[in-house]
Structure 1
Amino acid sequence: MSSSTAAAQPDREIHYASRGSSYFDVILALFCVVLVVSNIAATKGTQFFSGDLTIGPVTILPIYSDGGAILFPLAYILGDVISEVYGFRAARRAILVGFGTALIAFATFLIAMKLPSASFYENQDAFESVVWSGVRIVGASMVAYLTGQFLNSYVLVRMKARSSEPGLWRRLIGSTGVGEAADTFIFCAIAAGAIGITTGGQFVNYFVVGFVFKVTVEILVSPVTMLVIRQLKSREPSYWA
């Protein structure tokens, strides 16, 4: 082996930090909060722009979405950070813990709904309406979340195995594109009826808008994501060990 080849060899090593770190704990906690809050917010369907514009069977205007779109892209950004810095096993743990916290949150809402209402409480019907619509939302979110997040993490880690440290931006965008496509399609297919999406044209609008929005957010904040990743790599003693 030549000296130049030997010198280049360390750059091809794949590095990950130990997940037994306070940084990982904070990211994991934030990841779980994002997922739980997004599931609650997703029970509200949203509509932007007036008018009635269609091309063939596809609805162009108005644009349909849901309240979960406010925060859910952050789940993929955090998933990228965990996968890149801590590896697939850490990402798998984060995904499963997030799944468990979402189930606990929804089970709490179901139990609260069944508790006897106080005489002064006048919102029982509204509360039940939101919780029952949430059954389908949570089911859709869980199936989509598990599929999308595992694909996102797997693709990112496989891309890192091929390129090592270079190519971070490509890994972030490529993995997000795959994960968000699967996540958004599965979620929209299951949850559309729960928020009032009833036609095929509305569904295509709902899916395309959701996918484009999430990937666009990822692209726009990718400089910040890369900065966070680089800072974590420099601060985690075990990353370069």
Structure 2
Amino acid sequence: MFVAFLLISNIAGTKVTALDAGPIHLVFDGGAVLFPLTYVLGDVLSEVYGFARAKRVVLMGFAASIIASLTFWIVQVAPVGPGYEHQAAYEAVLGFVPRIVAASVIGYLVGQLVNAFVLVRIRQRWGADHLWARLIGSTLVGEGVDTALFCTIAFLGVIPGSEFVNYVVTGYAYKVGVEVVLLPLTYRVIAWVRTREGLGAGEVLAA
């Protein structure tokens, strides 16, 4: 699910959209719909399996994103077959994926590793209590790094001026907000996975 959510978000992220909520004007990309869930799953992985195993999954997502980007590029430059009339549309959408993937891979790789590292460090420093502090604290740092890198690499120069600032702030606030709203669900999933792995409350599966 972690890797699938990442790949889907990379494609959805090629579209920038805007929403007027009363006096508030919000700018965000399509990847915001699903991408925050990768941080929820990353928290589950880090909390139950530890940093080493969480890092393996992050690297799997990294590799899958590179493979997807190369595949889209090969298909784009391949000769157009008879009856196919959508080459320009393909290039307009999936042709932008390599830049999205570059931004996503760098932001995601650094952000997810920072997220996992911070969560584990908080746990080591203050113990297994206050799970909510670990989940939210790691997200604040990880999503901050991820959002700054992704938005800059993907859309700097594409989204103009103040709209770009709006885009960065909206994306960060939304991603952190999703994590906070889903906190009760994250608690349940962590408890369920621990039970499936035969772990007690607060235990981490040895690498």
Aligned to 1:150: 113
Aligned to 1:85: 48
Q: Which one of 193, 198, 204 corresponds to residue 232 of structure 1?
A: 193
Aligned to 2:59: 96
Shift of residue 136, structure 1, vs aligned partner: 1.4
Structure 1 runs of 4+ off > 2 angstroms? 237-241
Question: Which range is displaced more, 221-230 or 158-167?
Answer: 158-167
Shift of residue 164, structure 1, vs aligned partner: 2.4
Aligned to 1:70: 33
When the two structures are superposed, what TM-score results if normalisation uses the length of structure 2? Answer: 0.92
Question: d(CA) in 2 for partners of 1:93 and 1:230?
Answer: 22
- After superposition, residues 1-241 of structure 1 pair within 5 angstroms as 30-49=1-20, 62-193=25-156, 196-199=158-161, 201-237=162-198
Question: d(CA) in 1 for partners of 2:21 and 2:187?
Answer: 37
Q: How many residues align?
A: 202
Q: Secondary structure at the match of 1:166?
A: coil
Question: d(CA) in 1 for partners of 2:61 and 2:96?
Answer: 21
Shift of residue 225, structure 1, vs aligned partner: 0.3
Q: Deviations over 1:104-134 (max 9, x none)?
A: 1111111111222222111001111223322
Q: Which of structures 1 and 2 has the bigger CA Rg?
A: 1
When the two structures are superposed, what TM-score results if normalisation uses the length of structure 1? Answer: 0.79
Question: d(CA) in 1 for partners of 2:159 and 2:131?
Answer: 37
Q: Secondary structure at the match of 2:25?
A: strand
Question: d(CA) in 2 for partners of 1:87 and 1:226?
Answer: 16
Q: Deviations over 1:120-157 (max 9, x none)?
A: 11100111122332221111111101110011000000
Question: d(CA) in 1 for partners of 2:78 and 2:56?
Answer: 33
Letter in 1 for 2:13: A
Q: 1:50 to 1:220 in 2, by over 3 A?
A: closer
Aligned-CA RMSD value: 1.8
Q: Secondary structure at the match of 2:182?
A: helix
Question: d(CA) in 2 for partners of 1:171 and 1:177?
Answer: 10
Question: d(CA) in 1 for partners of 2:59 and 2:7?
Answer: 13
Question: d(CA) in 2 for partners of 1:154 and 1:50?
Answer: 36
Percent of aligned pairs with the same amino acid: 47
Question: d(CA) in 1 for partners of 2:163 and 2:124?
Answer: 40
What 5-or-longer segments of structure 1 have no aligned partner? 1-29, 54-60
